[in-house]
């Protein structure tokens, strides 16, 4: 199992691009939790993935989006 953390510094500008990637890899996502900062535009997303399939590609694609930082760890 893998846990992916995604930090989006400008939710208003980048939410659609992040959602597009999440949808693209949706078959691999088992759980997702969004955490919004009520005092700012930044947000965090935690994703749980049970398979190693495409994990590097998924994180790489998220990191290619401006204002987005994604990392993962095996849990």
Q: Which candidate, 36, 56, 55, 58, places its Cα nearest to that of 45?
A: 36
The pLDDT value given to residue 16: 95
Q: Which of the 8 DSSP states describes residue 34? A: E
- The domain made up of 2-74 has a fold known as Alpha-Beta Plaits (3.30.70)
The pLDDT value given to residue 46: 93
What residue spans define the domains of the chain? 2-74
| Helix 55-63, helix 11-24: angle, nearest 10 | 160
The pLDDT value given to residue 7: 94
The pLDDT value given to residue 14: 92
* 72 vs 37: CA distance, rounded Å: 21
The pLDDT value given to residue 41: 77
- pLDDT, tens digit (0-9, with 9 covering 90-100), for 5-52: 999 998 889 999 999 999 999 999 999 999 988 877 788 989 999 889
Instruction: For residue 23, give the 3-state DSSP assignment.
Output: helix
The pLDDT value given to residue 42: 84
* 53 vs 12: CA distance, rounded Å: 30
């Amino acid at each position: 199992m893998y846990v992916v953390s995604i930090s989006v510094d400008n939710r208003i500008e980048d939410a659609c691009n992040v959602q597009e990637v999440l949808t693209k890899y949706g078959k691999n996502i088992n759980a997702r939790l969004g955490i919004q900062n009520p005092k700012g535009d930044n947000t965090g997303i935690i994703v749980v993935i049970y398979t190693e399939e495409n994990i590097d590609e998924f994180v790489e694609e998220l990191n290619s989006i401006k204002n987005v930082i994604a990392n993962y760890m095996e849990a």
